[in-house]
Amino acid sequence: MTLRTIAPAAAVLAFASLLGAAGPANIQPPGPMPPADNQKLAHDIFRDLVQVRSVHDIGTKGTADVIVRYLKANGFTDADIHVAPETKYPNQVNVVVRIKGKGKGKAVMWICHMDVVDAKKADWTPGLDPYKFTVKDGYWYGRGTSDMKDEDAAVAASLIRLKKEGYVPDRDIVVAFTADEEVGLEQDGPQFLVQHRKDLVGDVGLVMNPDGGSGEIKNGKRVDFAIETVQKTYMTFKAETTNKGGHSSEPRPDNAIYQLADGLVKLAAYQFPYKTNATTRAYFASRAQQSSGQHKADLLAASKEPLDNAVAARLAKDTSMNAILHTTCVATMLKAGVQENALPSSADATIQCRVFPGESAAQTQATLQKVMGDPGIKVSLLEPVQPAPETVPDPKVMTTVAGVVHDMWGKDVPVMPVMMAGASDSIFTRAAGIPSYGVGGGWWDVDDIRAHGRDERNNPSNFYQTTEFTYRLMKALGTAS
Ligand SMILES: [Zn+2]
């Protein structure tokens, strides 16, 4: 995920992922784990995936080969496995594998991206190579150990376990191991599959994306289990000014940098209108259960319509809550001037927005233009936008996931839908009209975020629980309800 992002409960809204991104803690007692042989298999797949540098420029052929090798060595045949390189980008290879069911209901599909954000050995702690699976202090280190090769291995090992059991689900279980999520858009695997390989995924009626939602740990305690059902839309704009420039020895009142800065100062002070949707209302209602006093009252009020602006403003004092209460736009990069002794002839700022679902790029651009309040500042969209509708939480799916969570980690774990500020492949499956749920099986300490960062790691206990959770969820969702 462009950073796997977890529920804002613990203020982790990067992306994604961020989510699952944080260092796992060894919560005692651990939840159930797979049998020893399946643990070994899952570990080996995990190790072999991490040691492949599957970054955007190289593609995912190497990781696809690892997956196919393990599937074939464990009972899957060419009839079950489809290797799908992208027509325009053949180095971006996807693998689609299926366990046939009894035809009761549309297929359920797991989407698992195999690519990673690159990492340099020089940036990591000496002795830790991002593309070596290193065991140290009870942790497994390596790029992708939390985003998301852990989930790739957990899903592959669980599918093999079902196959070995001769399990025949009521509906088909499909897994798509996919390419290029971290850079996304034109080379994105799930987008390619839903648009160009309907022969492989056209009958899918439900998507599980482990690159989203998961368990959150704060101060060594399990806080909640988040299921991601909607994402804000990722949009980036440019705001630019131009000027005739001139010699810096004779400055004039008109100046490209000052003009842009004036607009940016106005933007900094602007708050987009507060909003909620089905997911965030359900989230606020669930969080209220664990709160007290004014905060509880505000969360309860925000879980109902219409939203009271004063309540929203109070909640928005918390950075993570603020990110799910409305669109946010922030200046992230600045460029201006060509030489120190020349008045700048242009200046431009990059404005990165996470837009509340349902708000369009044109609307957001118009608001930015209006807020900056100067026709001399030209606002333009930098990249094409992929909007995606909310997956309104289906009680049947939510109950099924919650049932597995409670079986694994106890009935007192709050399970709730969340909106993600980061982006994941679910935007493509949702845009294709498939209800999609971000459900990873890991538990992450939100104060130790490492996805996309240095010294990324996971630990055996968390990883094996993730694998057991995935196996149980596949069975639970494979059974027609
Ligand atoms: Zn990811």
pLDDT, one tens digit per residue, over 64-88 is: 999 999 999 999 999 999 999 999 9
Do residue 294 and residue 213 come from a single domain?
no
Give Cα separations from 426 to 184, 208, 304, 437 (angstroms): 11, 9, 27, 8
178 CA to centre of ligand 1 in angstroms: 11
181 CA to centre of ligand 1 in angstroms: 7
Q: Does position 97 have pLDDT exceeding 70, yes or no?
A: yes
456 CA to centre of ligand 1 in angstroms: 13
Q: How confident is the model at residue 480 (pLDDT cuts 50, 70, 90)?
A: confident
460 CA to centre of ligand 1 in angstroms: 20
148 CA to centre of ligand 1 in angstroms: 5
Do residue 396 and residue 367 come from a single domain?
no
315 CA to centre of ligand 1 in angstroms: 28
Do residue 123 and residue 183 come from a single domain?
yes
Q: How confident is the model at residue 25 (pLDDT cuts 50, 70, 90)?
A: low
Do residue 392 and residue 279 come from a single domain?
no
- Across residues 262-290, what is the average pLDDT? 95
Q: Does position 100 have pLDDT exceeding 80, yes or no?
A: yes
Do residue 246 and residue 228 come from a single domain?
no
Do residue 35 and residue 117 come from a single domain?
yes
Domain containing 178 equals: 9-232+388-477
Q: Write the burial class of residue 447 (CB in 10 Å: 0-12 exposed, 13-18 middle, 19+ buried).
A: middle
Q: Which two tokens stand for residue 454?
A: 């240095």
* Closest to 180 (Cα-Cα) out of 188, 191, 171: 188
Domains in the chain, number: 2
For residue 8, the model assigns a pLDDT of 42
Long-range contacts formed by 83-91: CB under 8 A, 24+ apart: 84/192, 84/193, 84/197, 84/200, 85/61, 86/179, 86/187, 86/189, 86/192, 86/196, 87/192, 87/196, 88/186, 88/187, 89/59, 89/179, 89/180, 89/186, 89/187, 91/58, 91/59, 91/60, 91/61
Asked whether residue 121 is assigned to any structural domain, the reply reads: yes
For residue 298, the model assigns a pLDDT of 97
Q: How confident is the model at residue 10 (pLDDT cuts 50, 70, 90)?
A: very low
What percent of the chain shows pLDDT beyond 90?
87
Question: Which helix or strand (DSSP H or E) is residue 67 part of?
Answer: helix 61-72
Contact 128, 455 (CB under 8 A): yes
199 CA to centre of ligand 1 in angstroms: 26
Q: How confident is the model at residue 22 (pLDDT cuts 50, 70, 90)?
A: very low
Asked whether residue 4 is assigned to any structural domain, the reply reads: no
117 CA to centre of ligand 1 in angstroms: 9
188 CA to centre of ligand 1 in angstroms: 12
Residue linked to tokens 């420039």:
245
For residue 262, the model assigns a pLDDT of 97
260 CA to centre of ligand 1 in angstroms: 35
Do residue 268 and residue 203 come from a single domain?
no
Asked whether residue 3 is assigned to any structural domain, the reply reads: no
What percent of the chain shows pLDDT beyond 70?
94
What DSSP state is assigned to residue 232?
P
120 CA to centre of ligand 1 in angstroms: 18
345 CA to centre of ligand 1 in angstroms: 40
CATH number (domain holding residue 358): 3.30.70.360
Do residue 398 and residue 436 come from a single domain?
yes
Asked whether residue 1 is assigned to any structural domain, the reply reads: no
pLDDT tens-digit readout, 425-473:
999 999 999 999 999 999 988 888 899 999 999 999 999 999 999 999 9
40 CA to centre of ligand 1 in angstroms: 24
Q: Write the burial class of residue 453 (CB in 10 Å: 0-12 exposed, 13-18 middle, 19+ buried).
A: middle
146 CA to centre of ligand 1 in angstroms: 8
Exposed e or buried b for every residue in 295-325, given b needs 16+ CB within 10 A?
beebbbbbbeeebeeebbebbbeeebbbbbb
For residue 446, the model assigns a pLDDT of 85
388 CA to centre of ligand 1 in angstroms: 18
Do residue 161 and residue 31 come from a single domain?
yes
52 CA to centre of ligand 1 in angstroms: 16
Asked whether residue 219 is assigned to any structural domain, the reply reads: yes
Residue linked to tokens 């695997």:
189
Q: Which two tokens stand for residue 299?
A: 């969360």
245 CA to centre of ligand 1 in angstroms: 44
What DSSP state is assigned to residue 143?
T
233 CA to centre of ligand 1 in angstroms: 16
For residue 26, the model assigns a pLDDT of 62
Q: Of 381, 403, 424, which closes a domain? A: 381
Give Cα separations from 61 to 33, 56, 424 (angstroms): 30, 11, 21
Q: How confident is the model at residue 475 (pLDDT cuts 50, 70, 90)?
A: very high
- The residues near 78 (Cβ < 8 Å, ≥ 6 apart) are none
Pairing of strands 346-355, 328-336: antiparallel
191 CA to centre of ligand 1 in angstroms: 15
Alpha-carbon gap, residue 178 to 429, rounded angstroms:
13
pLDDT tens-digit readout, 110-122:
999 999 999 999 9
For residue 73, the model assigns a pLDDT of 98
385 CA to centre of ligand 1 in angstroms: 19
Alpha-carbon gap, residue 394 to 392, rounded angstroms:
6
Alpha-carbon gap, residue 123 to 131, rounded angstroms:
13
The amino acid occupying position 81 is: I
For residue 18, the model assigns a pLDDT of 40
Q: Does position 104 have pLDDT exceeding 70, yes or no?
A: yes
Do residue 253 and residue 202 come from a single domain?
no
* Closest to 417 (Cα-Cα) out of 230, 218, 157: 230
Asked whether residue 2 is assigned to any structural domain, the reply reads: no
Give the mean pLDDT of the chain: 92
For residue 430, the model assigns a pLDDT of 96
> Angle at the Cα of 201 (from 200 to 207), degrees rounded to 5?
150
- How many CB atoms are located within 10 Å of the residue 250 CB? 7
Q: Does position 392 have pLDDT exceeding 70, yes or no?
A: yes
67 CA to centre of ligand 1 in angstroms: 18
Do residue 394 and residue 461 come from a single domain?
yes
For residue 406, the model assigns a pLDDT of 97
Alpha-carbon gap, residue 361 to 367, rounded angstroms:
10
For residue 29, the model assigns a pLDDT of 78
Q: How confident is the model at residue 11 (pLDDT cuts 50, 70, 90)?
A: very low
253 CA to centre of ligand 1 in angstroms: 48
Asked whether residue 177 is assigned to any structural domain, the reply reads: yes
For residue 219, the model assigns a pLDDT of 84
Q: Of 328, 354, 381, which closes a domain? A: 381
Give Cα separations from 57 to 118, 187, 216 (angstroms): 10, 11, 33
Q: Of 347, 381, 415, which closes a domain? A: 381
147 CA to centre of ligand 1 in angstroms: 5
Contact 238, 372 (CB under 8 A): no
Do residue 103 and residue 179 come from a single domain?
yes
98 CA to centre of ligand 1 in angstroms: 22
For residue 27, the model assigns a pLDDT of 72
356 CA to centre of ligand 1 in angstroms: 21
Q: Is the pTM of this model over 0.85?
A: yes
39 CA to centre of ligand 1 in angstroms: 23
Alpha-carbon gap, residue 261 to 259, rounded angstroms:
5
Strand partners, 457: 141
150 CA to centre of ligand 1 in angstroms: 11
339 CA to centre of ligand 1 in angstroms: 40
pLDDT tens-digit readout, 159-187:
999 999 999 999 999 999 999 999 867 88
Contact 9, 223 (CB under 8 A): yes
211 CA to centre of ligand 1 in angstroms: 5
CATH number (domain holding residue 412): 3.40.630.10
Contact 140, 463 (CB under 8 A): yes
For residue 467, the model assigns a pLDDT of 98
187 CA to centre of ligand 1 in angstroms: 15
182 CA to centre of ligand 1 in angstroms: 6
Asked whether residue 427 is assigned to any structural domain, the reply reads: yes
Task: Look at 4-13, 125-134, 431-440, 457-466 and tell me which has the smallest mean pLDDT.
Answer: 4-13
Alpha-carbon gap, residue 368 to 110, rounded angstroms:
38
158 CA to centre of ligand 1 in angstroms: 20
390 CA to centre of ligand 1 in angstroms: 19
